[in-house]
Chains A and B, each alone.
Chain A
Amino acid sequence: MKVEVEGTEKYGTDSYVELFNGILLDVGLTRMVEAVKFIIRPSDPLFLISIRTRKAAGLVMVSDIADVSGTEGGTMVTIRDETYAPTLISLLWHKYGRERIDQLTRLELFCKGISEKEISDLGLDPGEELKSKVLDAVWRLLPEGFKIRHNISSENVMTVVATEHDMKKEWIELAEKAHAEMGVG
Chain B
Amino acid sequence: MYKVLMFDGGVYRVNELYELVEDLGGFVIQKTQIQVQIVVTLVVPEEDVPVIEKKTQELGGKLTDVPLAGTEIAVVAPTLGRHHMPHPVCDIAEHLRRYGAITVVMGLARGKGRQTAQISADEKATIEEYDAAVFVLGNFEDCILKEKIRLFENIEIPVTVVCGPDIKRVPSCEALVTGVCRKVERMRRAEEIAKLEETVAALGKIIEARRREIDEDPLFVHPAEVKQRIESLEAVQKSLRPAPIVLHLDGLRVKIPYEEWRDELASIDIFGYKLGDVTKISGARIGGSTLMKILTKSEVEAREARKSATAA
| Closest CB in chain A relative to B20 CB, distance in Å | 51
A113 to B165: give the CA distance in the assembly, Å: 61
A73 at interface, CB cutoff 8 A: no
Q: Is the CB of B183 within 8 A of A9?
A: no
Cβ proximity bits A60-95 to B, threshold 8 Å, 1 near / 0 not: 000000000000000000000000000000000000
Q: Is the CB of B79 within 8 A of A144?
A: yes
Cβ proximity bits A5-19 to B, threshold 8 Å, 1 near / 0 not: 000110110011001
Residues of B within 8 A of A19 (CB): 181-184
Q: Is the CB of B184 within 8 A of A26?
A: yes
Q: Is the CB of A42 within 8 A of B143?
A: yes
B164 at interface, CB cutoff 8 A: yes
Interface centre among B81, B84, B114 (most CB of A within 10 A): B114
Cβ proximity bits A142-165 to B, threshold 8 Å, 1 near / 0 not: 111111000000000000000011
A45 at interface, CB cutoff 8 A: yes
Partner of B183, one of A22, A43, A143: A22
Stretch of B36-44, B134-142, B272-280 lying at the A interface:
B134-142
Residues of A within 8 A of B165 (CB): 9, 11-12
| Closest CB in chain A relative to B236 CB, distance in Å | 40
**B165 and chain A: residue at smallest CB distance:** A11
Interface positions, chain A 27-49, Cβ under 8 Å from B, are: 42-43, 45
B contact residues, range = 20 to 34
Cβ proximity bits B127-155 to A, threshold 8 Å, 1 near / 0 not: 00000000000111111001000000000
Given contacts A26-B184, A43-B142, contact A11 B83 (CB under 8 A): no
Prevailing SS type, chain B contact patch:
loop
**A8 and chain B: residue at smallest CB distance:** B142
A42 to B139: give the CA distance in the assembly, Å: 10
A162 to B164: give the CA distance in the assembly, Å: 21
Q: Is the CB of B113 within 8 A of A9?
A: no
Q: Is the CB of A164 within 8 A of B82?
A: no
A contact residues, range = 20 to 34
Q: Is the CB of B84 within 8 A of A144?
A: yes
Residues of A within 8 A of B140 (CB): 9, 12, 42
**A142 and chain B: residue at smallest CB distance:** B83
Given contacts A22-B184, A23-B184, contact A9 B115 (CB under 8 A): no
A9 to B81: give the CA distance in the assembly, Å: 24
A142 to B138: give the CA distance in the assembly, Å: 13
Q: Is the CB of A9 within 8 A of B141?
A: yes
Interface positions, chain B 233-264, Cβ under 8 Å from A, are: none
| Closest CB in chain A relative to B213 CB, distance in Å | 35
B59 at interface, CB cutoff 8 A: no
Q: Is the CB of A15 within 8 A of B181?
A: yes
| Closest CB in chain B relative to A8 CB, distance in Å | 7
Residues of A within 8 A of B141 (CB): 9, 11-12
Q: Given contacts A12-B165, A164-B113, could you give 4 more A-B pairs where the C-beta distance is less than 8 Å?
A: A9-B141, A140-B83, A144-B84, A164-B115
Interface set of A (CB-CB < 8 Å, partner B): 8-9, 11-12, 15-16, 19, 22-23, 25-26, 42-43, 45, 140, 142-147, 164-165
Interface set of B (CB-CB < 8 Å, partner A): 78-79, 81-84, 112-117, 138-143, 146, 164-166, 181-185
Would you mind naming 8 contact pairs between A and B with Cβ atoms under 8 Å apart? A12-B138, A19-B183, A19-B184, A143-B138, A145-B113, A145-B116, A164-B113, A165-B115
